[in-house]
Amino acid sequence: MSTNPKHDLITSWLSLTQTQAMITNELEQTLQQQHDLSLNEFYVLLFLFEAPEKKLRLQQLQAMVGLSQSAISRLVSRFEAKGCGAMQRAICENDRRGIYTSLTSIGEDKLQRARSTVLKVLEQQFSSPRFRQGVQDIMEILKP
């Protein structure tokens, strides 16, 4: 580390973002290879699973995942397809303009299989020397 704390902070920030990008890429590749899922698709399944009654409005999912309205609609449509059946849509009873998306038992099964893969990747990445050193460097800089 240099003697310039501001430079150290920038260097640590860059290291952290590079590590995050590396982990994201690893998750994306592994999910695609092992479960035919993108990381965003995994997030949608996870958010629905954790939601009350396992359902959310499309707008909520859109905001949580950070996709455009058309992208989230296409994603849900793929999961709704007869070949997949992981999600289903329904009109909101309180607001007929709103559409709820809910997780089916097929979607839950798909999520649970993918979740164990995600946990393995995260455990592996978080235990790596590079990750641990990066966290340690940031903690050192942030000490009062």
* pLDDT at residue 5, as a whole number: 64
- Quote the distance between the C-alpha of residue 92 and its chain's center: 25
Write 121-126 long-range contacts (CB < 8 A, 24+): 121/23, 121/26, 121/27, 121/30, 122/23, 122/27, 125/22, 125/23, 125/26
Per-residue pLDDT at 2 exceeds 70: no
> Does residue 134 register a pLDDT over 90?
no
Q: Name the residue with higher pLDDT: 121 or 13.
A: 121
CATH 2.40.30.110 is held by the domain 5-142: no
pLDDT of residue 93 exceeding 80, the answer is no
Whether the predicted pLDDT of 65 surpasses 60 = yes
